[in-house]
Structure 1
Amino acid sequence: MNDTVSFGYQQVDPAEKTRRVGGVFSNVARRYDVMNDAMSGGMHRLWKNRFVRRVKPRAGEDILDMAGGTGDIAFRMADLGASVTVADINPDMLAVGMERAADRAQTGLVWTEQNAETLSFDAAMFDAYTIAFGIRNVTDIPAALAEAHRVLRYGGRFFCLEFSTTLWPGFGEIYDAYSHKLVPQLGKWIADDEDSYRYLVESIRRFPDMARFEAMIAEAGFVRTKVEPMLGGLVAIHSGWKV
């Protein structure tokens, strides 16, 4: 890793980024889903549904859902019969997910506090690894991708849902104006936290574009990598296989 990494538009020590990102998600945990609805006009639910359809979870499969604290992806996959382990570095996000699972009477999920860069699981434990809107907040992304590859069984699949850079002419400028000016204000009005949502917007801008991130997935050892852009690439589903 470099001596410094990006925290939004700032360069900070890697340990400092991990600490700051933890603070962001502790701050927003209780209002996370409400803010997602407000920021995306509810479209994040459609993106997640599409993502899970691409994963194709099946009964009898073991799936690791990384950075899945609130349970959004895990609930969808468990409803299709998969055995899901929900992992997140942030205990406050996990607490929200466990409360939501109790409200839904959703049993059978495993909840565990994990750092994506240094997972505690043995090698070749899972049939699929999913991460939705979480990889850009990881301090050492190549390390996290290597860990995803390690814990997958041969024939296992990696799926990532993440924001990227739209290629639609004109739309990028409109979205930039919206995200930089309105999203922090929404954070202030709804979650009483303008700074955290300013960071989340900035983290999207600093994330690698679709081609570069696909190359990073391949560099981690995955094959048959693929990118499925939505809204011209504003959001993308990345995938790869361990063979």
Structure 2
Amino acid sequence: MEKALDEQMKSSKFLTSVDNSQTRRCYYTSIPRVIKQKGIHGQELTSLNIDKTQLLESLLIKDYGGSEDVLLGELQFAFIAFLMGQSLEGFLQWKALVNLLFGCIEAPFRTRTQLFTKVIYYQLKFGLEKDHTDTSGAATGVSALLDDSWLSADSFLHHLCKDFFSLMLDASSVDGHLLSWTRKLKELLENKLGWEFQLNSAVDGIYFEEDDKFAPVVEMLDDPSCN
């Protein structure tokens, strides 16, 4: 996926030639895709990878000074770098942050309700508009930069949203502000992309299809009673 995007961006008509000596690299916060900790094994390690709440809290304290706004600022910067600057690195960081946020189970029900959906809603709302033009009059936006496959029902974003929507909409008690923005994001994706979000078999409250490659690996421990 990233390789195809890289090739597409290299050949994009929107890219301008810039001397390598004039380029400046952006530095992003490192977001681990898989949690690995010494001394933690089996069920506890599986739980940490299914629910990324602890990772989110750790990153907020260690890398963002405890500020949710700083994290959201990086989410915004990465999205702009990707969408407007056609940066593959920006896309990968935006993807990692969305995966982190939508991979949380406990955090949305605690004190981190403002972190979820609202910013991503406005990002996608802007990106999915088809009438943006640049100074030369050329069309811009996601539809102008990406192949349709990037926004297909098999994309990472669809899988993340499906699981997060299931978590929010099936919960018995959710912050009203968060629930409202979750519904808006769901409606946006359904109306703009024609996506359908259906509930599937559940694992610890999160829904995955049997062949879902984005689902976390669950480690099955031997039952001592069977020995």
What is the TM-score normalised by the length of structure 2? 0.31
**TM-score of the two chains, using structure 1 as the length reference:** 0.29
Higher strand share: 1
Structure with higher Rg: it is: 2
Between structures 1 and 2, the one with greater helix share: 2
